[in-house]
Structure 1
Amino acid sequence: MSYPYPPMPPAGYPVVSPYPGPGARLAAYVIDSIVVGFLGAVVGFFLVRDDVVRWFDEIEAWNPETSPAPEPDMSDLYILSAVTLLIWFAYRIIMETSRGQTLGKMALKMKVVDFDGRTPDSGASFLRNSWYLVNFLAGTVPLLGTLVSFGIYIALGTTISRSPYNQSFADRWGKTYVVSTR
């Protein structure tokens, strides 16, 4: 399926693309991941703190000669992972639909727009960020999930670098572009 693309600037204009490449977009993603990671850590502190403290107490009291090593309660970790996923989507969708920019994109002077140059609606933002849900689910499968996750990142970078408008496959899903605001 092909989508209409905005016209490229006429000859004589600077060669600098108005569409940020994979490196700049990766840097914005890293900044956003740090933000979401911090928010997830704050939530996690309140969600799993008691279980972690209890587990450390059990380890401290553990006698390897009389019992197997205590194991942490993983259910809270799974819940925390799901909560962090929700934080990711809320952060991305709210920021993209209200400003067209996440904090990472603001820092690097980029903006997400639809084909008409407006900020995307929530459906378009969800679609363009849905790759992260696939990545998250793949991450739940040991080894194979890591390979699939790595493949998703490669596919994102490759499709950005091969598109004349530096669109990833996820940008195409949401019918959006990332443009420079410089």
Structure 2
Amino acid sequence: MLMLTFPLLLSSSILFMNLSHPLSMGLILLVQTMLISLTLGLSSYSFWFSYILFLVFLGGMLVLFIYVSSLAPNEIFFSLDLFIMFFIFMSIFTIIALVMDPILSNFSHISLPLSSLDYFNSTPYTINWIYNSPSMIFTIFIVSYLLLALIIIVKIINLFKGPLRLLT
């Protein structure tokens, strides 16, 4: 599964460089965030850190989406050439990843023993180091900084003024 997410990340990065509309760029960023969260969740002991990362990034993307949609003109941002190029890159990188995958290239080992699945349960990639003694102070500092920034932003925003443009 990890070998399939890397070609998707690479092809979406190439597609991102060729886009010009901010809403389509936001969509590609959202896809990349889902792929990075999936990769992080599969390579660590639990999915909690990737869930939190995805939810925080999704909240930020929602704020950016509201801001950009109020500024961007209402134009069609779908281009057939970019869509075809995206699927060509995605299919090429997926085929390369499938060919280079050692499990799929050697068909005699398709049925994995159950002992090889215990590898993921014994990996040392846990997120306990965030909450342990040396880095606990840094984590508390980051949480309090984000809370303070949230309170300051709420106080700065004037609730009596409307959005940047009228939604008609």
Name the TM-score class by shorter chain: 0.3 to 0.5
Query: Given the two structures, how large is their TM-score scaled by the length of structure 2?
Result: 0.32
Structure with higher strand content: 1
Structure with higher helix content: 2
Query: Given the two structures, how large is their TM-score scaled by the length of structure 1?
Result: 0.30
